[in-house]
């Protein structure tokens, strides 16, 4: 390959620049390994600094739970947040938080990877399981009961709540997830295709839950503390995350979930990948379009009032939270009927 484009573009251009060993999927530049690492890390750092209208993603002293599944995205996330926290002295206290959904032959293996990562990065790890949290309803049992059609709905709703509960156990202020630019583009596309424009604000935001329950005068209401969620990889391409993990030789689990993806998300994913192969900027363009559309619809969209779930006391937009509604239908043996009547 040619000389590294980034070495060549430096003001103190080296006499013998390194040879490029890869072409960046995001920019098309041919770069050497070290410049790729630095560019990728710096872009994530810049995303962190610029987030939330320039206020930044983190505050010094925050306790951060890194949602770690053992897959490529969250493994690279744990590596990079640890590295940037040291390099730029963010002053964060980092923890790994994993949810065992009870998917044998998949999550049990990937959690072993998280345990290895916890040792490698010297981070405390907390694992919570659906089995314990949801009265024995592991995903293996849910799938037996409901079939393969709606299983991702159960898993997604349960995981969201499980991460919140894990956040409370660890007393973290903030959970970061490994959702990447491809995930964002997919979700935006799905919401647009469903005509669900009101959801764009939430799905394009880098941080959700932030100050969501703060009163207009700045005082805090009597509701419990809401753990913020952020996506530092919002603009990071999946292909670059994979390359980073590969060239850094990070330990991660590379098997796809045996129950995913759902048909609709699978089609959206395939469409995004097709568009990316024709025009790599399609992923970022979709995100920018989603952000722009969400700014336009924001004045009309009403946020549902938050309250405590009457069953489990977690935050909810309805008297009974979605996780408890799903759990109730499972316990009553009505699971497949209720979800299919909604679809």
Q: Which residues pair with 307 in a beta bridge?
A: 316
Do 127 and 99 form a contact (C-beta atoms < 8 A)? Answer: yes
Do 51 and 230 form a contact (C-beta atoms < 8 A)? Answer: yes
Do 79 and 247 form a contact (C-beta atoms < 8 A)? Answer: no
Distance CA 283, CA 263 (A): 20
> Which range, of 93-101, 265-273, 279-287, 315-323, touches ligand ATP by CB under 6 A?
93-101
Whose Cβ is closer to ligand ATP: residue 164's or residue 183's?
Answer: 183
Instruction: Please tell me whether 98 is known to bind a ligand.
Output: no
Asked whether position 73 contacts ligand ATP by CB under 6 A, the answer is: yes
Opening angle at CA 240, ends 235 and 242, nearest 5:
120
- Considering only residues 260 to 299 of the shown chain, the ones binding ligand ATP according to CB under 6 A are none
- The CB-of-71 to ligand ATP minimum distance in angstroms stands at 2
- The CB-of-159 to ligand ATP minimum distance in angstroms stands at 6
Strands 125-129 and 207-208: unpaired
Asked whether position 98 contacts ligand ATP by CB under 6 A, the answer is: yes
Identify the burial level of 299 via C-beta atoms within 10 angstroms of its C-beta, where 0-12 means exposed, 13-18 middle and 19 or more buried.
Answer: exposed
The site that binds ligand ATP (CB under 6 A) totals a number of residues, namely 15
- The CB-of-260 to ligand ATP minimum distance in angstroms stands at 7
Among 167, 178, 232, 290, binds ligand ATP (CB under 6 A): 178
Side-chain half-sphere CA neighbours of 173 within 13 A: 12
Task: Tell me the per-residue interface mask from 179 to 208 with ligand ATP, x by CB under 6 A, - otherwise.
Answer: x---x-------------------------
- The CB-of-341 to ligand ATP minimum distance in angstroms stands at 27
Which residues contact ligand ATP by CB under 6 A? 67-69, 71-74, 98-99, 101, 159, 177-179, 183
């Amino acid at each position: 390959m040619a000389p590294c484009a980034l070495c060549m573009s430096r003001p103190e251009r080296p006499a013998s620049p390194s040879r490029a060993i890869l072409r960046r999927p995001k920019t098309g530049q041919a770069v050497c390994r070290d410049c790729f690492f630095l560019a990728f890390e710096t872009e994530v750092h810049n995303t962190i600094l610029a987030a939330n209208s320039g206020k930044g993603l983190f505050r010094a002293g925050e306790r951060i739970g890194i949602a770690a599944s053992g897959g490529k995205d969250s493994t690279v996330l744990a590596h990079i947040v640890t590295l940037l926290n040291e390099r730029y002295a963010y002053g964060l206290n980092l923890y790994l938080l994993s949810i065992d959904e009870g998917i044998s032959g998949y999550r049990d293996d990937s959690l072993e990877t998280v345990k290895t990562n916890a040792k490698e990065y010297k981070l405390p790890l907390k694992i919570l399981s659906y089995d314990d949290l949801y009265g024995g309803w592991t995903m293996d049992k849910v799938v037996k009961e409901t079939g393969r059609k709606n299983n991702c709905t159960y898993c997604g709703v349960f995981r969201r709540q499980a991460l919140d509960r894990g956040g409370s156990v660890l007393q973290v202020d903030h959970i970061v997830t490994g959702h990447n630019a491809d995930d964002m583009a997919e979700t935006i596309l799905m919401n647009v295709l469903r005509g669900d424009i009101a959801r764009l604000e939430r799905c394009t935001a880098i941080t959700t839950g932030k100050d969501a329950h703060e009163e207009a005068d700045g005082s805090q209401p009597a509701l419990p503390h809401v753990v913020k969620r952020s996506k530092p990889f919002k603009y990071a391409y999946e292909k670059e995350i994979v390359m980073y993990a590969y060239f850094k030789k990070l330990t991660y689990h590379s098997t796809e979930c045996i129950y995913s993806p759902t048909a609709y998300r699978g089609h959206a994913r395939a469409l995004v990948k097709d568009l990316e192969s024709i025009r790599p900027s399609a992923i970022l363009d979709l995100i920018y379009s989603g952000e722009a559309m969400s700014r336009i619809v924001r004045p009309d969209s009403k946020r549902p009032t938050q309250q405590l779930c009457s069953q489990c006391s977690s935050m909810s937009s309805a008297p009974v939270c979605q996780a408890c509604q799903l759990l109730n239908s499972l316990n009553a043996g009505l699971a497949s009927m209720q979800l299919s009547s909604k679809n």
